[in-house]
């Protein structure tokens, strides 16, 4: 039954392939333009006829080495727009236009299907010698108006394609038929089509499935598809199956006796050739302890699989001992590195305490401005070090940027304004440390440095398309070279002395988060430049 089902799947695949070709043809503009013959001149209609004929010829080729499927187009032409075209068959394929008198009897039936393809037996088809053929028939409707038919597309010779699929199965003295619901043979293993066969067991038919029945010394295996109204029938003589089973039973008995004798010989060989050295190998494995001394091992001189296995096990034990030794040394180095890190953490702590002492000394002596600068410097260094962390929360990065801005204002007495506008929900977003400071520094130097009170820098953070977007914008009057900035960010600029900070920011973001995150530049509304950072929204970093 499973073989029958798989065989039917092959036939469905072939028919679906023809259906896809007909859909491609009917959607082609060359065919669709035939629906408006009155809009074209006689010369243009001749060109349309020739183009459609060439289109059908290009598809009338052999499929998978079998006989070709021929495609023809039939259309009702009551007004005689295509009177120059043939109205009856001149070859196995072609384009035909006919009037009311020449209309084939199957043409109205095809139009009633409204574009649904179906299989039909043509009892006599061909220009000279009329032969029965299995055709795939499909009405062609206008794409603009689905209720307006253009004609009918006919694919003939389908029985040869189906027959090739049927002959992939060989039955003992059996026959294979592909029929419609009325048991008319659409294709068969011997090539005969059009006749009707008696298929018993109709009471077992379901919507779709496979069943078997014994009837008049034959076994029938039937796969039925109610939606397509098709059957795949295997008919085999019961006597042939029983004869084949007897021969198979005798062959199995002979093979069983031979295998039993062969197994006994193999077991004896394995016992003599394999078990003794394997027992020695088991003793070696039991004595050996990883990291300890290797048990004594004597070369056996064997070069077969067992000898290779024993040598490999001994070599593996040696490598395992070396691995244990390396692991031990690595653990010692890791502990040394941890101790070194703990000692190095003392230095920043000492630096913070020293700066704090200087801060209080300046405050008590009345040097409030110097004290404030020392306090901002302490905050700047504390966040920059961040206990060795590479990613810090956006909240800390903003604090670092504020400390830098305050130092710059106190150092150079700049008069520019700074606007901080970041959504509360973004403050835990992870960001590589010292990312905003270089961008703010560029905005000061290249943007608002000489503008005094008119200069303005805005640090704005928003959620856009599920990402955190941070913009550092200035209202500088100088025209920025966006193409140069693009090359710097993308790495196309080869001069290592230009845009080091910009490249550094882009590379660190890409290393941490990958694409599409990173740095880009855009013009600011109202003049100036804006650096745009796109970061993933995530929890507070814990590295």
**Long-range CB contacts for residues 111-117, cutoff 8 Å, separation at least 24:** 111/139, 111/149, 111/152, 113/137, 113/138, 113/139, 114/139, 114/141, 115/139, 115/140, 115/141, 115/146, 117/19, 117/22
Q: Write out the DSSP string of 453-475.
A: GG-EEEEEEEEETTEEEEEEEE-
295 phi, psi to nearest 5 deg = -65, 155
pLDDT at site 246: 73
pLDDT at site 347: 47
| Spatial distance between the Cα atoms of 151 and 31, rounded to a whole number of angstroms | 9
531, 482 in Cβ contact below 8 A?
no
Residues in the chain, overall count:
543
381, 351 in Cβ contact below 8 A?
yes
pLDDT at site 473: 93
Q: Is 85 helix (H, G, I), strand (E, B) or coil?
A: coil
HSE value, Cβ hemisphere, 13 Å, CA-based, for 342: 6
Q: Write out the DSSP string of 250-312.
A: HHHHHHHHHHHHHHHHHHHHHIIIIIHHHHHHHHHHHH--TTSPPPP-------SHHHHHHHH
pLDDT at site 223: 84
Closest CA to 162 of 137, 136, 183: 136
Q: Find tokens 């065919």 and name the residue.
A: 31
Predicted confidence (pLDDT) per residue in 497-515, tens digit: 777 788 888 888 888 888 8
Burial of 449 (0-12, 13-18, 19+ CB in 10 A): middle
Q: Supply the mean pLDDT for the chain.
A: 80
Distance of CA 371 to the CA centre of its chain: 61
Which token pair is 396?
């800390």
460, 471 in Cβ contact below 8 A?
yes
533, 435 in Cβ contact below 8 A?
yes
pLDDT at site 152: 92
Detail the DSSP E strand segments found in 361-416.
Answer: 391-393
Below-50 pLDDT ranges, the chain = 342-347, 349-350
Domains of the chain, first to last: 1-162 (3.30.450.20), 413-536 (3.30.565.10)
């Amino acid at each position: 039954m499973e073989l029958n089902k798989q065989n039917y799947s092959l036939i469905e695949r072939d028919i679906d392939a023809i259906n896809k070709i007909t859909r491609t043809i009917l959607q082609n503009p060359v065919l669709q333009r035939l629906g408006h013959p009155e809009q074209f001149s006689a010369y243009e209609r001749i060109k349309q006829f020739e183009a459609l004929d060439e289109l059908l010829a290009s598809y009338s080729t052999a499929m998978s080495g079998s006989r070709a499927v021929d495609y023809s187009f039939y259309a009702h032409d009551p007004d005689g727009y295509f009177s120059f075209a043939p109205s009856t068959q001149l070859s196995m394929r072609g384009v035909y236009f006919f009037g009311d008198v020449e209309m084939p009897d199957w043409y109205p039936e095809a139009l009633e299907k409204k574009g649904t393809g179906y299989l039909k037996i043509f009892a006599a088809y061909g220009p000279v010698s009329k032969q029965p053929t299995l055709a795939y028939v499909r009405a062609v409707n206008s794409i603009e108006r689905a209720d307006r038919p253009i004609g009918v597309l006919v694919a003939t010779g389908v029985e040869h394609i189906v027959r090739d699929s049927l002959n992939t199965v060989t039955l003992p003295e059996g026959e294979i038929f592909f029929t419609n619901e009325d048991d008319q043979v659409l294709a068969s293993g011997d090539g005969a089509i059009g006749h009707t066969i008696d298929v018993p067991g109709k009471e077992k038919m379901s919507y779709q499935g496979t069943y078997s029945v014994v009837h008049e010394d034959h076994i029938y295996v039937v796969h039925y598809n109610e939606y397509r109204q098709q059957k795949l029938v295997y008919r085999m003589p019961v006597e042939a199956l029983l004869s084949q089973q007897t021969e198979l039973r005798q062959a199995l008995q002979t093979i069983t006796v031979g295998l039993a004798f062969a197994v006994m010989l193999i077991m004896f060989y394995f016992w003599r050739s394999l078990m003794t050295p394997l027992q020695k190998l088991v003793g070696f494995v039991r004595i050996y302890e990883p990291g300890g001394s290797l048990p004594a091992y004597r070369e056996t001189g064997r070069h077969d699989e067992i000898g290779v296995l024993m040598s490999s096990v001994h070599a593996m034990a040696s490598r395992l001992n070396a691995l244990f030794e390396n692991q031990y040394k690595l653990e010692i180095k890791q502990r040394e590195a941890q101790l070194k890190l703990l000692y190095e953490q003392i230095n920043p702590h000492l630096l913070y305490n020293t700066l704090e002492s200087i801060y209080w000394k300046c405050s008590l002596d009345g040097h409030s401005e110097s004290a404030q600068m020392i306090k901002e410097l302490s905050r700047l260094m504390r966040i920059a070090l961040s206990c060795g962390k590479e990613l810090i929360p956006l909240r800390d990065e903003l604090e670092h940027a504020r400390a830098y801005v305050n130092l710059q204002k106190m150092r150079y007495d700049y008069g520019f304004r700074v606007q901080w506008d970041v959504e509360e929900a973004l403050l835990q977003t992870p960001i590589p440390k010292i990312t905003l400071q270089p961008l703010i520094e560029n905005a000061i130097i290249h943007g608002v440095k000489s503008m005094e009170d008119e200069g303005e820098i805005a640090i704005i953070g928003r959620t856009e398309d599920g990402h955190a977007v941070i913009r550092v914008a200035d209202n500088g009057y100088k025209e920025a070279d966006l193409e140069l900035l693009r090359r710097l960010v993308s790495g196309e600029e080869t001069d290592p002395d230009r845009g080091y900070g910009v490249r550094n920011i882009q590379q660190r973001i890409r290393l941490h988060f990958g694409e599409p995150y990173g740095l880009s530049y855009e013009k600011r509304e109202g003049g100036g430049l804006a650096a745009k950072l796109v970061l993933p929204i995530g929890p507070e970093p814990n590295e």
